[in-house]
Amino acid sequence: MQKLLISIIVTASVFSSGCSTVGDGLESAASVTEWIPQALDKAPLVYRPTILQGNVINQEQVNQLKPGMSRSQVRFVLGSPTLQDVFHDDRWDYPYTEGVGSTPDEYKYLSVFFKGDQLVRVAGDLHPQPESEREPVEPPAVVTVPDWEPEPRTLWEYLTDTVTLKNFD
């Protein structure tokens, strides 16, 4: 079904724009490669999942960052950096995009800077909030479930259950 839909869209794009665009070289390839995802995004029968790329970082995680934290502590709070530049060893980048289909709607970016092994500053879309502006974090609810204990069986019941066949109606 998808191959049929794609072939119909490509054929329609070639005939609607004229045959002269097929031989134009790189410009026609760029226009077709831009037009096809846009047409597929508008098609009613094509499933467009929400695509999350990068590290999802929230305000609570950024609030845990303190100057002087080691690299391993920052990695524990934020996760491994998505971008770690070879030329800028003291900078970790955490980009994040979210969108439906091929068009991202939301862009977020966070960079942490180190001097040696200690965190110096945080830059990007999220910043650590002052203590007075922070919302209280509720601890996760802990539910205790009693252990399951089977009913005690006699030796005779144990032997008959393991040796005999059950009713297979």
What residue spans of the chain are helical by DSSP H? 2-17, 26-42, 59-63, 71-78, 155-163
Q: Is residue 61 situated within a structural domain?
A: yes
- Is 39 found in the same domain as 8? yes
Sequence-distant (6+) residues with CB within 8 A of 51 are 97, 98, 99, 100, 101, 104
- Is 65 found in the same domain as 34? no
Q: How crowded is the C-beta side of 85, counted as CA atoms within 13 Å?
A: 11
Look up the domain containing 120 and give its range.
Answer: 51-133
- Is 55 found in the same domain as 121? yes
Higher pLDDT, 122 or 100: 122
> What is the model's pTM?
0.55
- Is 56 found in the same domain as 38? no
- Is 129 found in the same domain as 89? yes
- Is 121 found in the same domain as 69? yes
Instruction: Name the phi and psi angles at 154, rounded to 5.
Output: -80, 170
Q: Residue 122 and residue 73: Cα distance in Å, rounded?
A: 14
pLDDT at residue 157 above 90?
no
Count how many domains the chain has: 2
Domain CATH code at residue 113: 3.30.1450
Which residue is listed with tokens 């490509």?
10
pLDDT tens across 55-109, in order? 888 888 898 899 999 999 999 999 999 888 888 889 999 998 888 876 788 888 9
Percentage of the chain modeled with pLDDT above 90: 18
Q: Is residue 67 situated within a structural domain?
A: yes
Which residue is listed with tokens 């002087």?
68
- Is 64 found in the same domain as 12? no
Q: Is residue 8 situated within a structural domain?
A: yes
- Is 58 found in the same domain as 42? no
